[in-house]
Amino acid sequence: MCVSQKHVETFLVYLASGGYYRNVGFSTGVAKTSTLLYVHEVADFFLSIAPRFIKLPRPEEYPNLTTTVRDVDGNNKDIILYIDGVIIRIQRPDHAGDAYYCGRHGKSCDSIDVQYVCDKFGRIRHVISGLPGSTLDKIVAEWSPEFMQYLHTLPNDVVVLGDPSYRNLHPSVMHTFTGANLNQQQMQFNDTCTRQR
């Protein structure tokens, strides 16, 4: 597959514009039908090479990737990965109704919910995408059989760190505490986790 600079430029403008082919054509000087073709070719190219670069860590990588924190019970936990989500604005698919509408504060738009899993060096290790922006982060994460299977294989003292939206996702997912009545240990734990993320 040959992907030219014009293909990539068109793809990036498409992503930045929120998924409107007509707008992309106007700003890049590419016909709408060519824009559609370019975007699909670049997306297929990235999809084909992604497995070479985006991989969940293997056990032999754990020593170089973990950061140890003490939980509120005084147990040491090794954080191997960090999970978070982002709302990506899109053009609402035809006949989708309000399914793609995300009404969360500050994020009111048609969107998809993308979850990304990174290591402590900021390298993306796994991406979960495809569900509407109205979907909760925890549900999107559960949608990836590969990620859920990976969580089952982690040793007891190795965890993935997320925010409270991942509460009860899996015993190997550790999250910060919320609420107005946190004790000193919980606040200190939250501060430690915030510095890690």
Together in a domain, 12 and 81: no
Render each residue's pLDDT in the chain as its tens digit; 197 residues: 567 888 888 888 887 776 677 777 777 788 878 888 888 898 898 888 888 889 999 999 999 999 998 888 888 999 999 999 888 877 777 777 777 877 776 677 788 889 999 999 999 999 998 888 888 899 999 999 999 999 999 999 999 999 999 999 999 999 988 888 888 888 888 888 887 76
For the chain, the domain total comes to 2
In contact, 160 and 82? CB cutoff 8 Å = yes
Together in a domain, 128 and 181: yes
Together in a domain, 92 and 155: yes
160-183: string of b/e by CB count within 10 Å (b at 16+)?
A: bbbbebbeebbebbbbbbeeeeee
| Distance from C-alpha of 157 to C-alpha of 65, rounded to nearest angstrom | 14
Together in a domain, 23 and 93: no
Together in a domain, 143 and 183: yes
| Distance from C-alpha of 162 to C-alpha of 150, rounded to nearest angstrom | 15
Indicate yes or no: pTM above 0.75: yes
Q: What pLDDT does residue 111 have?
A: 83
Together in a domain, 118 and 173: yes
Together in a domain, 179 and 151: yes
Q: Tell me 68's DSSP state.
A: E
Question: What is the domain extent for residue 164?
Answer: 59-196
| Distance from C-alpha of 27 to C-alpha of 10, rounded to nearest angstrom | 9
Together in a domain, 124 and 28: no
- Compute the half-sphere exposure of residue 72: CA atoms within 13 Å on the CB side of its CA: 15
Together in a domain, 186 and 105: yes
| Distance from C-alpha of 40 to C-alpha of 11, rounded to nearest angstrom | 8
